[in-house]
Chain A
């Protein structure tokens, strides 16, 4: 069954998601989008156009670096690469998400008790 994620939740996920993908390798908009679809099994549906303002915001914060390159077919393409600041930011976000998911998972586990305390 397809789960439609809440808009705010998708927005909150966007930054760590993009940074994680870029932490693996330098990439460009369309490929990042495709990777998001693939990872989420199509369950996180983004409007493609929204990715670019986000990438530009991350660039402004210094989390990613961008430069123009060319695709194998010679099409102009803007490649994004994570910076050390971006890596640090990703670590911070990752800890936050870990805490959030752990807390909820604990509440929702069958015994009702925090899973990690058992």
Chain B
């Protein structure tokens, strides 16, 4: 391949990335490019100069893509359904080969889960380790998918593998007595810690810059949306399958759940990740839209809750479930804040939505203060348990996060969204780190 052909190929792949331009459109554009170059070379330019001028005349790639997208908006949908068919080249995120890779990893995840299910005798007499290790069966496969997808170099891939191995070994090293709190804690925190590894894989090992971290946060939100949608569809499919099969095979439901639902739930982890990548840049992201819808509602709910608890008084008798509920609530608020900020136009002045976000953050901080107060009282009276330490750590992190966010928002009113986002991204690894600490340190400490 000559130098010029190589550069044209590079240009083609840059245009392809927008995915609104089909292969046959690209052929047409390339023919134009080459005609132009032929004329320019005939006029005395060398190949390189001719290429540069011809590309420049053709126009900025993003503009061309946008213009094609306007004319061919329907393509963006069709490509999702028929990758590799409508001129979507193999190897691009929407290509047939990338679908094949994703499906291969999805099958792998399903096989791993099924093998573990058979060994662990799930769902008849489930072995206790099965649920605890569910994340360990599926998420490393997803990390592996990204390693292959992004062609991560072996050394970086080892950097992904090492924490997975350490977390996996640690989660299974200790024996958990029946009904031990630590078993549940590990079951919750292991997938969280592993998800951070997956995110590093998603970023192709480059998780240092705050902007890239924000990509991982967006990916997480989109993934959740897709997974929930797939789960909804899968649930309908399972329900109908069982309803159809029950008259002829009375115990069909157990078999269907054991084989199809488990496999589907495992495979969907990879498929959802693939969908996020395929649809990226094509359609307005969903997570920020959901965040915009729910931020005011959650802000109102938090205000009511704060007012209610301040009036009713809490004292030291939050029970454990309630603390969990509050933790989940605060994490959701944090998520709404992040996705709201992620879609925010950096240059826009502070508006109503920012005020709503600030209200939500301050209300959440107040609620968190209540939770923290009640928990410190419990730890003081009853001594630390694994559960209390885990919850306390998370709440301290959340408290620091919310307080600094509130401070930045109030103090630096003019440019706060940007600063808040940077602060959130700086703190992000701490949440993954805490999840890892819970998995690694709490079981031996409270054995």
Q: Using a CB–CB distance below 8 Å, which chain A residues touch chain B? A: 28-30, 33, 47-50, 52-53, 56-57, 60, 71, 75-78
Bound CA span A29–B32, Å: 7
CA distance A3 to B41 in the complex (A): 28
Is the CB–CB distance between A29 and B31 below 8 Å? yes
* B window 28-48: CB within 8 A of A: 28-29, 31-32, 34-36
Specify which of A47, A56, A76 is in contact with B59 (CB 8 Å cutoff): A47
Any A CB within 8 A of the CB of B58: yes
Given contacts A47-B58, A47-B63, A48-B58, contact A53 B31 (CB under 8 A): no
Contact of B67 among A29, A53, A71, A75 (CB under 8 A): A53
Q: B59: which A residues are within 8 A, CB to CB? A: 47-50
Question: Is A77's CB under 8 angstroms from B31's CB?
Answer: yes
Note all chain B residues with C-beta closer than 8 A to A56. Answer: 25, 68, 71-72
Q: Is B369 an interface residue (CB 8 A)?
A: no
- For A30, the closest partner residue in chain B by CB is B35
Q: In this complex, what residue of B is CB-closest to A77?
A: B31
Are A52 and B68 within 8 A (Cβ)? yes
B70 → chain A, closest Cβ, in Å? 7
Q: Which of B31, B32, B58, B60 has the most CB of A within 10 A?
A: B32
Report the bound CA distance from A24 to B63 in whole Å.
30
| A47 closest partner in B (C-beta) | B59
Q: Is B5 an interface residue (CB 8 A)?
A: no
Task: List A contacts of B125 (CB < 8 A).
Answer: none
Query: How many Å from the CB of A79 to the closest CB on chain B?
Result: 11
Instruction: List the 6 closest pairs (A to B, CB-CB), nearest first.
Output: A47-B59, A49-B59, A49-B64, A30-B35, A53-B67, A53-B71
Contacts of B70 in A (CB 8 A): 53
Q: Are B36 and A49 in contact (CB under 8 A)?
A: no
B34's nearest neighbour on chain A, judged by CB, is A75
Q: Which of A29, A52, A60, A77 has the most CB of B within 10 A?
A: A52
Nearest to B15 among chain A residues (CB) is A49
Cα–Cα, bound, A60→B71 (Å): 9
Contact B32 A50 (CB under 8 A): no
Task: Verify if B57 is at the interface (C-beta below 8 Å from A).
Answer: yes
Which residues of B are found within 8 Å of A78, using beta-carbon distances?
Answer: 27-28, 31
A47 CB contact (under 8 Å) in B27, B35, B57: B57
Given contacts A30-B35, A71-B31, A78-B28, contact A49 B72 (CB under 8 A): no
Bound Cα distance from A49 to B14, whole angstroms: 14
Report the Cα distance A33→B67, complex, angstroms: 17
Collect the chain B residues with CB atoms within 8 Å of residue A71's CB: 31, 35
Chain A residues in 8 Å Cβ range of B64: 47, 49-50, 53
Known: A30-B36, A47-B57, A57-B71. A52 touches B29 (CB 8 A): yes
Whether the pair A48, B32 counts as a contact (CB closer than 8 A) is yes
A-B contact pairs, 30 of them (CB 8 A): A29-B28, A29-B32, A33-B32, A47-B58, A48-B58, A48-B59, A49-B29, A49-B58, A49-B59, A49-B67, A50-B59, A50-B63, A50-B64, A50-B67, A52-B25, A52-B28, A52-B32, A53-B67, A53-B71, A53-B72, A56-B68, A56-B71, A56-B72, A57-B71, A71-B31, A71-B35, A76-B31, A78-B27, A78-B28, A78-B31
A49 touches B63 (CB 8 A): yes
The residue in chain A whose Cβ has the minimal distance to the Cβ of B68 is: A53
Residues of B within 8 A of A30 (CB): 31-32, 35-36
Interface string of B10-31 (1 = CB under 8 A from A): 0000000000000001011101
Across the interface, A48 reaches (CB within 8 A) one of B25, B57, B71, namely: B57
Residues of B within 8 A of A50 (CB): 59, 63-64, 67
Taking CB atoms, residues of chain A closer than 8 Å to B58 are 47-49
A interface footprint on B73-94 (CB within 8 Å = 1, 0 otherwise): 0000000000000000000000
Beta-carbon nearest neighbor of A57 in chain B: B71
CB distance from B56 to the nearest CB of A (A): 9
Residues of A within 8 A of B60 (CB): 47
Task: Give bound CA distance, A76 to B31, whole Å.
Answer: 7
Beta-carbon nearest neighbor of A66 in chain B: B28
In the complex the two chains form, what is the Cα distance from A75 to B33 in whole Å? 12
Q: Inside 8 A of B35's CB, which chain A residues have their CB?
A: 30, 71, 75
